[in-house]
Amino acid sequence: MSAAQRTEPRTLAPPERRTAHVTGVERLGAYTLITALDAGGPPDPRPGQFYMLAAAERWGGGVDERPYLPRAFSHARAREGRLSFLLEAIGPGTERLAGLGAGEGLHLVGPLGIGWRPPEPGTRPLLVGGGIGAAPLLCLQDELAGEGVDPDDATDVMRAMRDKCQSRAGSAPSVLLGFRSSAHAQAASLFAGEPELATDDGSAGRHGLVTDLLREELDRDPAASVFACGPPPMLEAVRALCAERGVPAQLALESGMACGFGACFGCVVPTKAGYIRLCVDGPVLDAGALESACLAQAPGSAGCAGSLSPGAGH
């Protein structure tokens, strides 16, 4: 392991696709949490990294004779080779993945990309999730709490992450989650403690946006490090709010990907330094690197849209 690899929040992936086996499927309202045993896989991933997923059987032949490409997902949890992914069926790929049953094969390549970096010294971590973007915050909460940590795994990043967190006694990470409705908000039950909730329709928690909750948290105590993942309009609101207040923020972005390891050049996002490939230089980016977290807008569409899927319907 090189010095750079010790300090970069990245677990290296084996250079081939492998097959894990689904051990559990849990329905959480609008979402499905699948857990798979990655026997013989690499050491556990860093929070914020991701995997390229495909069903080992019957991948293809769905709507419009798709899916063909694997789909990128951050893990929600990783414990000793057991990987959990939070899924929402919104297209032929995610429908097939969410329909996997216990014992079925899950093709995966990963972990890929660079995960979350430690909070800034002397700040409390604020975890801000929107919808399925809650997933990479769940494993981050686990790690900040020192749960599921192998004491022999003393990578510099992990140590720094825990040390920084303990540097402010009594400042446990706050979790703020926004969902469309109470059916989606069931994913909040995965988190420890009592996450603060907002829903678009008011059916659970506050009737409003997760960024309303974030603004109030920052009003209360601005010495925070923000970790956010969610849809582009939410991330842009988080970016703008944190920039205005001078609060450090890391954003986990999403972009349509074919490969996940830098081969296809399809997942570029515009940054202040030009296009970067989100799969190898992200998916977690420093908010300050972006002019905007509104990524490519679909041509002809107005407003802040993401270029999420390699083809309509993920």
Partner 1 sequence: MTAGNGARPHAGGPLDLCGVPLEGPVLNGSGTFDALAARRAFGDALLERFPFHAFVSKTITLAPRQGNPPPRLWETPAGLINSIGLPNKGLEGFLASDLPELAELPVPLIVSVMGFSRDELATLVRRVGERDEVALVELNVSCPNVETGLVMGADPAETGRAVATVRPLTDKPLIVKLTPNANEPAGVARAAEDAGADAVSLVNTLKGMALDPRTARPWLGGTTGGVSGPAVRAVALEQVASVAQAVGIPAIGMGGIASGRHAADFLAAGAVCVAVGTESFRDPAAGRRIAAELHP
Residues that bind partner 1 (CB under 8 A): 5, 12-17, 54, 60, 64-70, 107, 109, 112-113, 255-270, 274-275, 277, 280, 295-296, 298-301, 307, 309-312
User: Please, what is the minimum distance in Å from the beta carbon of residue 274 to partner 1?
Assistant: 6
Nearer CB in complex with partner 1: 237/279 = 279
**Strand ranges of the sheet holding 105-112, from the earlier edge strand across to the other edge:** 71-74, 50-55, 105-112, 18-28, 31-37, 82-87, 77-79
Nearer CB in complex with partner 1: 119/256 = 256
Torsions phi, psi for 59 (to 5 deg):
-100, 100
User: Please, what is the minimum distance in Å from the beta carbon of residue 84 to partner 1?
Assistant: 22
Nearer CB in complex with partner 1: 60/122 = 60
Nearer CB in complex with partner 1: 149/268 = 268
User: Please, what is the minimum distance in Å from the beta carbon of residue 4 to partner 1?
Assistant: 9
Alpha helices (runs of H) in 246-294, residue ranges in sequence order: 278-281
Amino acid, single-letter form, for residue 3: A
- The sign of the CA dihedral 157, 161, 288, 85 is positive
Question: How far does Cα 185 stand from its chain's mean position?
Answer: 16
User: Please, what is the minimum distance in Å from the beta carbon of residue 19 to partner 1?
Assistant: 11
User: Please, what is the minimum distance in Å from the beta carbon of residue 117 to partner 1?
Assistant: 16
Nearer CB in complex with partner 1: 13/134 = 13
What is the distance between the alpha carbons of residues 135 and 268, in angstroms, rounded to a whole number?
22
What is the distance between the alpha carbons of residues 104 and 37, in angstroms, rounded to a whole number?
11
CA distance to 71, 116, 229, 298, per residue, from 287 (Å) = 25, 12, 11, 22
Residue position matching structure tokens 């798709």: 66
